[in-house]
Amino acid sequence: MSKIKQYDVIVIGSGPGGEGAAVKCAKEGYHVAIVEKYHKVGGGCTHWGTIPSKSLRHAVQRLVAFKNNPLFEGAVSQLDVQYPELLKSAEGVISKQAKMRKGFYERNQIDIISGHARFIDKNTIEIQQSNGARERYQAPSFVVATGSRPYRPNNIDFSHSRIHDSDTILNLQQTPKSITIYGAGVIGSEYASIFRGLDVKVNLINTRDRLLSFLDDEISDALSYHLRQQGTVIRHNETYDSVEATDENVIIRLKSGKQIQTEFFLFANGRSGNSQNIGLEDIDLAMNSRGQIEINENYQTSIPHIYAVGDIVGYPSLASAAYDQGRFAATHIVNGECEYSLVEHIPTGIYTSPEISSIGRTEAELTSEQVPYEVGHSFFKSLARAQITGHTVGMLKVLFHRETLEILGIHCFGRDAAEIIHIGQAIMAQKGEANTLMYFINTTFNYPTMGEAYRVAALNGYNRVYGIS
C-alpha cells in the first residue's frame, strides 16, 4: 500500500450535498477530494432519482398531449411508443448533468477519487477501486453525503425480473400491461401518474388512510380525485402479507384478505440511508434505525469533525435542500461556526399529474393551532393563460391571517405548480408588512400568465374577509 495522501477535507458522495460542501470548501482555499463509487459524478439524484424520473415524466406528458391534440387525431392510431424508448429521453439529460458537474470539480481543483470509501479510523478512509486496488487517505474534516436507496423488505424477492424498486424500474425493458405500486408516497404517486399516462392498468396500494397526508387536505383530495379519474385504482389502509412472482405475473396478497394480480410490481414504500459498509459502526458514529446519521444544527455528527448532509440525515430529503446543507456544513468547517440554516419554509414539489407544490402551513395545522386564518382561491379554469394552453385543471390557494393579512401557506396543484410556488416563497421569506396579502393585490402581473393566479387568489381572500362581493 502506497503512502497515505493528505487532504484538508474529504467528501464522500458526489450528489447535491457532497457537491455543495466540496465546492464551498475549495473556493475557501481548502485542498479537497470527493469520493464517488459510481463511475460518474452526480449521485443518485442525477443517475437514478430526480433527473431520470422527471425526464421520463416529461416525455410521457408530451406523448399524452400529442394523443389528446385534435390536430394529430389521424396520426395517433399509428403511434406506438414504448416505455424503454421514453426512458432514452433521459439519457441525454443525465449525460449533460454529469459532465457539467464534473466540470465544477475540475474548475475548482477538487480531486475526484473513484471507488468505495470506508472509515479505518476517525481520520482515515480506505478506498477500494474497481480493479481491487486499495488506497488510504486522511483529512482533519470529512463530509458524508452518501444519500439513500429504496427500502427493500427481506421477504420480497427483488432479484425477480417482475419485481422492482424505484431504481430498477428505470431498467424495465417493456411497457407493462398492468402494475401494482406498493406505497402511495411521493415516488409511488408520481409513478402511478407516469404509468397511467402510458395506459397501463395501475393499482396503487396506500398503507395510510389518504394520499400524501402531509399536504393540505384539499390538495390531497384533488390528487386522489384526478388519479382515480385517470383510471388508477387506489386502495387505502392496506398492507401486504406476501408478494409472489411467477414467469407471467406477480400476486400480491394483502392482510385484509384481498389478492391482486398484475404483470409487474413496484415497491415504493420508504428509503434507507446509505450508511452501511462505510465503516461508521467501527468508529462508533451514531445512526438511527433507518440507517440515517444523527447530526446537530451545524451538520456535525457524534464525531464533531465528521459532518453529514443530504438524504443520509433524513428530512427534508430534497436535492435543493441537500446542496444548501452541504454549503452550510462547509461554512462551519471553514469558519468554525455556521450562521446559516435551511429556511423555515421549503417548497414541496410533487411531479404527479396534476403537479403539486406547497409551502407553509396547511389548513389543518392552522386550525389545530387556533390561528384565525382565511383562504383565497384561484381556479386555473378561469385564467386566460390556462385557457390558451388548455391546461385548465388546477388551483392556487393562499392561506393568510385574517387580522394582519400575513401569508401563512400557499398550496397549488395543476400545470407548472412547482414553478408557480416560488413567487409565493419569495414573499413569505420577507419580514413584516412585506409578507402580506397586499403584495399580490397591489402588484401588476404580466397578462396572460399563470402568475396572475396570485392576484386573483389574493382578491378572492380579501373580499371574503371584508365582505365584498
- pLDDT value of residue 1: 54
d(CA 277, CA 37): 12
Q: How many Å apart are CA 124 and CA 118, to the nearest integer?
A: 9
Q: What is the rounded distance in angstroms from the CA atom of residue 330 to the CA atom of residue 20?
A: 8
The C-alpha cell of 9 is what? 477535507
- Please tell me the predicted confidence (pLDDT) of residue 337: 87
Beta-bridge mates of residue 148: 273
The tens place of each residue's pLDDT in the chain, 469 residues long, gives: 568 999 999 999 999 999 999 999 999 999 999 999 998 999 988 898 889 999 999 989 888 887 777 777 666 656 678 888 888 888 889 999 999 999 999 999 999 999 999 999 999 999 998 888 899 999 999 999 999 999 999 999 999 999 999 999 999 999 999 999 999 999 999 999 999 999 999 999 999 999 999 999 999 999 999 999 999 999 999 999 999 999 999 999 999 999 999 999 999 999 999 999 999 999 999 898 888 999 999 999 999 999 999 999 998 888 989 999 999 999 999 999 887 777 778 899 999 999 999 999 999 999 999 999 999 999 999 999 999 999 999 999 999 999 999 999 999 999 999 999 999 999 999 988 889 999 999 999 999 999 999 999 999 999 999 987 6
Q: Which of 121, 147, 149, 151 is nearest to 136 (CA)?
A: 121
Q: Which of 160, 159, 198, 196 is nearest to 181 (CA)?
A: 196
The domains found in the chain, sorted by start residue, are: 5-150+272-335 (3.50.50.60), 163-269 (3.50.50.60), 348-466 (3.30.390.30)
Q: Residue 213 carries which side chain, given as an amino acid letter? A: S
Closest C-alpha among 321, 325, 320, 322 to residue 338: 325
Using CA atoms, how far apart are residues 12 and 34, in angstroms rounded to an integer? Answer: 6
For residue 178, give the DSSP letter. Answer: E
Cα distance between residue 287 and residue 185, in whole Å: 24
Could you tell me the three cell numbers for 79? 403511434
* Maximum distance among all Cα pairs of the chain, rounded to whole angstroms: 80
- The reported pLDDT for the residue numbered 434 is 86
What is the structure's pLDDT at 73? Answer: 66
Residue 13 contacts residue 146 (beta carbons within 8 Å): yes
pLDDT in the model for residue 29: 97
pTM above 0.95, yes or no: no
Q: Are 441 and 455 in contact (CB under 8 A)?
A: yes
Say how far apart CA 111 and CA 127 lie, in whole Å. 14
**Residues 416 and 450 sit within 8 Å (Cβ to Cβ):** yes
How many Cα atoms are found within 13 Å in the side-chain-facing hemisphere of 427? 27
Give the model's pLDDT for residue 78.
61
Cell numbers that stand for 94 in this block: 443525465
- HSE-CB for 126 with a 13 A CA cutoff: 12
What's the pLDDT at 76?
A: 61
| 115: CB partners within 8 A, 6+ apart | 35, 37, 127, 128, 129, 130, 135
**Closest by Cα among 280, 237, 261, 242 to 117:** 280
